Amino acid sequence: MTARIELETCYFEPVADGVVLLTLNRPERGNGVVPELARDLLEAFDRLERDFSVRVLVVTGAGAQFCAGADLVEFQRYIDEDLPRTHEPYNARVLFPVTQRFVSCRLPIIAAINGGATAGGLDLALACDIRIASTRARMGETYIKLGLNPGNGGTYFLPRLLGSGLAAELALTGDILDAERAEKIGLVNRVVEPEALLDTAIALAARIATYPRLALEATKQQLRQSWHLDLASAMQASFWGVATMSHTEDLKEGIAAAREKRTPRYNRADGEAKDKGGNK
């Protein structure tokens, strides 16, 4: 991948070796979720997962917001015009796959939370593997303020990240947290000044992307699976993951580099495939 690719509601572009930045691009509507955004995110993931030169993804929002959740103008139109016919929640069929795709994606995903992340916007950030917030970020599971229960994975992610008590408090009050409070309770990994947000997220992504692609994928999925497994089952999953990695050229390179006290050169097979036209 060598250039920016623009879709109707988002765009993505390479920003470092192995790293792509995906930007939600509806700043005039707070990057609010509409069906077209869900569609474009799924298309972006389809493209990125096929490109083995991409190893880590950073997600952020254009303008002042990360994502304000459902676009309320479109939400109201849906309730007035479509709900009497479908009798289904707004965006349910198109948005549910997006949350699941964030989790199942082979790429580790870093959310660079530049501003407001509320309701479904917070849930998208929670579906990422790592969260870095600007000091301007404000976060809240605010569905209750509209008369709704959380609708896009918040009640799944919050108890696992924060514990049941804090999860209940956030979901039942809809309170908005500033970045400092979010960091204190573990909702985000770190907080930086606004002008340093993307540089910090990209630098972390670039550091992660230096490691073997298959090992990164296996590590992400083991961490995710561990939320559902007992120790014995998690160890079994680890066993077979390590068994697979034991056959890779990158493991041989890692051992050789450690013994020779030099920097390893990982992912060369992906580069060779790209040079031969395999993954462009």
Q: Tens digit of pLDDT for each residue in 188-224?
A: 999 999 999 999 999 999 999 999 999 999 999 999 9
- Report pLDDT digits (tens) over 99-126: 999 999 999 999 999 999 999 999 999 9
Q: Which residues contact 171 (CB under 8 A, 6 or more apart)?
A: 141, 143, 144, 149, 150, 154, 155, 158
Give residue 168's pLDDT.
98
Q: 231 to each of 226, 234, 239, how far by Cα in Å?
A: 8, 5, 12
Tokens 């309701």 found at? 119
- What is the rounded distance in angstroms from the CA atom of residue 129 to the CA atom of residue 105? 10
Cβ atoms of residues 215 and 242 within 8 Å:
no
pLDDT of residue 275: 42
**Residue 279 banded pLDDT, cuts 50, 70, 90:** very low
50 is written with which tokens? Answer: 């096929």
Q: Is the pLDDT of residue 82 over 80?
A: yes
Give pLDDT tens digits for 20-33.
999 999 999 999 99
**pLDDT at residue 271, as a whole number:** 65
Q: Does the pLDDT value for residue 44 go beyond 60?
A: yes
Q: Could you give the domains of the chain?
A: 5-209 (3.90.226.10), 213-275 (1.10.12.10)
Q: Which residues of 154-166 are buried (b: 16+ CB within 10 A; e: fewer)?
A: bbbbbeebbeeee
- Burial group, residue 66, by CB count within 10 angstroms (0-12, 13-18, 19+): buried
Look at residue 117 and give its three-state secondary structure.
strand
CB 83 within 8 A of CB 226: no
